[in-house]
Structure 1
Amino acid sequence: MDEPDTAAILPGDVLGSTDDEASATDPGGVKGEEADVPTARFVRPPFTCSLPVTVEPVMFISMFALALQAPLSTQYLWDRISEDLGYNGSRRSECSNSSAPPDPLQKEVETLTAHWSLYISLAGFSVGLLVVPLLGSWSDFAGRRPVLIIPNLGMAVQVVVYLVVMYLKLPVVYFLVGRILSGLSGDFNAILAGCFAYVADTSDRRSRTFRVAVLEACIGISGMLASIIGGQWRQAQGYINPFWLVLATNLAAALYTYLFVRESVLTDPSAKLVTSRHHKAVWHLFSTGGSTTEAGGRVHRRNLWLYTLCFFLVVSVHFGCRELFVLYELSSPLCWGSALIGYGSAANNLAYLTSLLGLKIMQRCLADSWVGLIGLASNITGLVVFSVADSTQLMFTGYGLSFLFMAVTPVIRSKLSKLVDPSEQGALFASVACVESLCFLVGSGVFNSLYPATLHFMKGFTFLFAAILLFIPAGIIGTLQCLDQRREHRDSTAS
């Protein structure tokens, strides 16, 4: 009788042929950027899943839990602070020419809610900034499965703390405790790092960009679904029942990983988690260009920094603009109600699917960099239309023109992945996850500050500014692609 073995490598669990395996493990063989086949080995979990999926369900379920929890937490903060201050008004955004001064008590509630939301976000970010690179680099030695299980359990602990606060009506300061505990486990950023590193482990160079795009599509679809469910459920039953679903989904993601996700790297049982070695690995990655760059190390280091800058700018624009869409749509001259705002949000999230489909089609005849540039062009065009949108038709035209705006981030993640050694994927994507978290803080801060400051001369100037910013990554990606093509041409003529 066969017994499940979570440590041994099974002969049938190796991707690729014998020659591919030899080249992946032989120092003299093909490795790093030149490898065209997956080099990962799998460890059999307690059970196996016959479906052609790996970490996609983990990403989908974890993102669903996060997207369900985040807006509910903010709304709960508003209601608790309103109750403590004795404010009985409602949150309304309406088109009105009334010049009546705003309620000072409502302004205080808004200010305190914004401050507590900021404190909670900063608590998770500051802790995660230290923990996520540690977990990501550790996963290169200890395996990806622990880095997918531990953060989901940590997020479940956070939800338990939130539920205790809600049941006992404790002060909202205890939300910080739950957020810090989740940050110590890596939070959602560690799940991002683990999932993208897993895909890099188990995909070849040709399919990697599309596999990364599938993961990003999972983020968009689950976020849209959770937003719809969370809003309706809170109105019907309050906060506590939706948070029980958040707890269940976090535990389900951890359980699915344990039961069905096979290990994708050769594990070292002696690998330690708490050691400076892991942070040094991240520093080594960006200071020298990684382990695969003995020849041309400066080129790889330069490309790592430039693609990371592109990722930072693109994702900061995505986060910053996404938060402004609702404010822009609520106010004059659009004056949208909740139904139209829901349709607009659905149109924005639908771009995850259209970008995935467009990327798959364009990859048949274009290099990844050109696909990314088309995605940036779609994003820039949509933002320019948003900046001058004064009617519902024009606003939805902007959403339509942005149908490929999510095609660029999978390209950048894939480009970064191909620049480092297979043994450094965890460290790389942990760094990228930290950058993504920083993008949220920077994007929210910059764009939410710029929007009210520019209302007096151009309501949509913030979107126009975002479109101008995107010309920077477009120029970098186009230049690097031209340099790569010139280098390939020179090498082919020399040989």
Structure 2
Amino acid sequence: MAISLAVSLPAVLSIPLIGHFADRFGRRPFFMLPCISGTVAILAVLGVAAFELPLWVLLVANLIQGLLGGYQAIMMITWSYLADVTPAHSRARVFLITEAFVFVAFTGGPYVGGLLTRILPSGVVGVFQLSLVGKLLALLYVVFLLPESLEKAKSPSVSSIAENSPAAAAPATPFYKAALWTRLSTPSALLRMLAQPPRSHLVFIAFVTGLGVGGLTLFFYYCSYRLGWDSLDEGIYLLYLSVTRLIWMLGVGGLIDRHASKPTLPNPALASAGVQVPAPPPYTVEGADAGVSAPLAAPASDSTAEATVIPPLILDVRRKVRSEVMTVRLGMVVSAIGMITIGFLSEGWMVYVVATFTGFGTLAKPTIRALLSRSTPPTLQGRMFSILQITDQIASVMSSFIFPPIWAATVGTRFPGTFLFVIGVCFLAGAGVAFAGLSVDDLIDGFHAAPPAEASERADVESEGGGETVDA
């Protein structure tokens, strides 16, 4: 417990700072921190094994790991990086693919590690040695090969020029450069933005999802007690779960996203220019954000006609967002029904049947990330994902105080699956908010919205005496 707290508590404090600095200085430098922290933790284990160092060395190593962000920092920067380099209309699909492989890694990693302990001459120590090699390779990749992504996100895109063309044509107006205190308090501006519906509803759904997933740490205790499962049964179930989750995320989720992302609306730019829009095969809007057509260029001469490409069809944003909202709603409902149903099962094969259908619920979390990412400015992506990681961390800590006492109090009664019913209630709460609070129009209006902080920041700067003036 001490080692776990040594990682989780410092991470709650360090992740917001890492997200803030990753938005300011780029993603790549802060990919190095969790790679270094993981290396330190593995070296501590190897040192204890080889030199019989005291166990407090592990505590210090995990404290360093938590201060450098640990696993939460890896995922936070990963989502931010993907948001930088992925067009807005493709993020849901990319997040689904990433989530699928993360899930496979988490379920397959323990099996591979256990298998290696029987194959390698040095047993468990050999597994940590191979892990050290993997960490070092990841660090070398980040240092020498991984390109920076943030500059691409900050550069004006076709869609941003199209959306802000009146402002772009207006003369530059001066504004005061933010003072140090204002720049350090930038996360509060993001918090104000995320506190507004429907973003606040998405964050709440992510929180209750994390709370329910945290309670699932007791699932195999329940299966051992109620269904008589042993370690082999658990390993087989995890393997089956990995396959079904891959099918749902990469197969079904990909098909849903591909159908919703198919351009179907005529390009208004062509209509305004008097161009007749034919009925061609589907086109995609490459490089443009979801639902924003490329601006119509001036009529090109024959020599430049081939270089000017205007898609006749654009993405139907309403259909795209409606599909994602429905995925979140149904995912929460299916997860709730599945957890409550498992609490009544009496045979092990029944769990496999229920797990097959509840795999649809895994589509909800990456879809929430995609919706929040598209409604957050590019320069705030790191901080936004850091808040999501902290939300998951807080939910995990709370679940460790909620569900074990429930399990201990009900394990000898007629309803040992009571904790599963409580998990189902958590998912039902998320489903209720998804149905009542997620508005397609509000989500569309929130795309690329700036945080509601410009006025307050300017007032703060003026009250501090101003500063140097720069062009907008």
TM-score by length of 2: 0.70
Does residue 484 (structure 1) correspond to residue 441 (structure 2)? The answer is yes
In 2: Cα distance, 1:370 partner to 1:217 partner: 20
In 2: Cα distance, 1:183 partner to 1:423 partner: 25
Task: Give 1:409 deviation, angstroms.
Answer: 0.3
Residues 453-468 of structure 1 aligned to structure 2 (within 5 Å)? 453-455=409-411, 456-468=413-425
TM-score by length of 1: 0.67
- 1:398-420 superposed Cα distances (whole Å, 9 cap, x missing partner): 21121212100011111221222
Does residue 315 (structure 1) correspond to residue 210 (structure 2)? The answer is yes
Number of the residue aligned with 2:97 = 214
Residues 25-424 of structure 1 aligned to structure 2 (within 5 Å)? 118-235=1-118, 237-266=122-151, 280-287=185-192, 289=193, 301-321=196-216, 323-332=217-226, 334-356=227-249, 357-363=251-257, 364-365=259-260, 367-424=323-380
- 1:302-337 superposed Cα distances (whole Å, 9 cap, x missing partner): 33322111101102211221x1221112124x1122
In 2: Cα distance, 1:125 partner to 1:487 partner: 35
> Is this contact kept in 2: 1:154–1:187, CA < 8 A?
yes
In 1: Cα distance, 2:362 partner to 2:71 partner: 20
In 2: Cα distance, 1:486 partner to 1:405 partner: 21
Number of the residue aligned with 2:393 = 437
In 2: Cα distance, 1:276 partner to 1:342 partner: 52
The residue identity in structure 2 corresponding to 1:409 is: K
- 1:286-311 superposed Cα distances (whole Å, 9 cap, x missing partner): 12x17xxxxxxxxx723332211110
Task: Give 1:449 deviation, angstroms.
Answer: 2.1
The residue identity in structure 2 corresponding to 1:308 is: V
The residue identity in structure 1 corresponding to 2:213 is: H
In 1: Cα distance, 2:424 partner to 2:109 partner: 29
> Is this contact kept in 1: 2:198–2:443, CA < 8 A?
no
> Is this contact kept in 2: 1:354–1:404, CA < 8 A?
no
Q: Secondary structure at the match of 1:170?
A: coil
Is the deviation greater in 203-212 or in 348-357? Answer: 348-357
In 2: Cα distance, 1:392 partner to 1:181 partner: 42
Q: Secondary structure at the match of 1:477?
A: helix
The residue identity in structure 1 corresponding to 2:209 is: V
> Is this contact kept in 2: 1:150–1:185, CA < 8 A?
yes
The 1:279/1:392 distance shift into structure 2, 3 A limit, reads: farther
Number of the residue aligned with 1:55 = none
Larger radius of gyration: 2
In 1: Cα distance, 2:75 partner to 2:183 partner: 18
The 1:354/1:281 distance shift into structure 2, 3 A limit, reads: farther
> Is this contact kept in 1: 2:325–2:440, CA < 8 A?
no
In 1: Cα distance, 2:405 partner to 2:207 partner: 19
> Is this contact kept in 2: 1:378–1:404, CA < 8 A?
yes
User: Sequence identity of aligned pairs in percent?
Assistant: 21
In 2: Cα distance, 1:343 partner to 1:278 partner: 51
> Is this contact kept in 2: 1:153–1:254, CA < 8 A?
yes
- 1:321-366 superposed Cα distances (whole Å, 9 cap, x missing partner): 1x1221112124x112222111112223334312312221223256
The 1:457/1:262 distance shift into structure 2, 3 A limit, reads: same
The residue identity in structure 1 corresponding to 2:393 is: S
The 1:179/1:487 distance shift into structure 2, 3 A limit, reads: closer
The 1:181/1:151 distance shift into structure 2, 3 A limit, reads: same
The 1:177/1:278 distance shift into structure 2, 3 A limit, reads: farther
The residue identity in structure 2 corresponding to 1:190 is: A
In 1: Cα distance, 2:12 partner to 2:439 partner: 34
- 1:20-41 superposed Cα distances (whole Å, 9 cap, x missing partner): xxxxxxxxxxxxxxxxxxxxxx
> Is this contact kept in 1: 2:108–2:239, CA < 8 A?
no
The residue identity in structure 2 corresponding to 1:358 is: V
The residue identity in structure 2 corresponding to 1:283 is: S
The 1:348/1:420 distance shift into structure 2, 3 A limit, reads: same
The residue identity in structure 2 corresponding to 1:133 is: P
In 2: Cα distance, 1:487 partner to 1:331 partner: 48
- 1:93-146 superposed Cα distances (whole Å, 9 cap, x missing partner): xxxxxxxxxxxxxxxxxxxxxxxxx21111111211121111111111211111
The count of corresponding residues between Structure 1 and Structure 2 is 353
In 2: Cα distance, 1:412 partner to 1:486 partner: 11
The 1:429/1:276 distance shift into structure 2, 3 A limit, reads: farther
The residue identity in structure 2 corresponding to 1:148 is: F
> Is this contact kept in 2: 1:286–1:304, CA < 8 A?
no
> Is this contact kept in 2: 1:320–1:447, CA < 8 A?
yes
In 1: Cα distance, 2:133 partner to 2:238 partner: 26
In 2: Cα distance, 1:277 partner to 1:157 partner: 35
The residue identity in structure 1 corresponding to 2:149 is: S
Q: Secondary structure at the match of 2:223?
A: helix
Task: Give 1:229 deviation, angstroms.
Answer: 1.0
Task: Give 1:463 deviation, angstroms.
Answer: 0.9
Q: Secondary structure at the match of 1:388?
A: coil
Does residue 469 (structure 1) correspond to residue 412 (structure 2)? The answer is no
Task: Give 1:487 deviation, angstroms.
Answer: 8.5
For structure 2, list consecutive stretches of 5 or more residues without a partner in the other structure. Answer: 155-179, 261-321, 446-472
> Is this contact kept in 1: 2:340–2:420, CA < 8 A?
yes
Which runs of at least 4 in structure 1 moved beyond 6 Å after TM superposition?
A: 275-278, 485-488
Task: Give 1:282 deviation, angstroms.
Answer: 1.8
Is the deviation greater in 134-143 or in 248-257? Answer: 248-257
The residue identity in structure 2 corresponding to 1:460 is: G
Task: Give 1:445 deviation, angstroms.
Answer: 2.9
The residue identity in structure 1 corresponding to 2:228 is: C
